[in-house]
Amino acid sequence: MATGSNGSAPGGTKLTDDEIARIIALKEDDCPNREIARTLGRSYMTVLRVLRELGYPPRTNGRILSKQQCVIAKELGLPVI
């Protein structure tokens, strides 16, 4: 399914500037993408697309990290999503 330029399915509601700001704030607080999606009532793919458009790397080494691995990665200065 194609998505609109606003991160929603065609005919869906547009992301507001406040929602985009909340996605950024939650990501900066190390909130997992799926939790961000649940918090905002948006799809995981919408959150993922917004983060990618904002320049966040998709994942570290092609896999999702555990919380302990995220802590270690942050200490090493690696990007964590």
Establish if 67 belongs to a structural domain: yes
Residue 5 covered by a domain:
no
Domain count of the fold of the chain? 1
User: Does 35 map to a domain?
Assistant: yes
Residue-wise pLDDT for 5-23, tens only, equals 555 455 568 899 999 999 9
**Residue 4 belongs to a domain:** no
Residue 9 lies in a domain: no
Q: Does some domain include residue 8?
A: no
Range of the domain at 25: 17-75
State yes or no: pLDDT of 1 exceeds 50: no
Residue 35 main-chain phi, psi, to 5 deg: -70, -40
What is the reported pTM? 0.59
In a domain, 80, yes or no: no
What pLDDT, on the 0 to 100 scale, is given for residue 71? 72
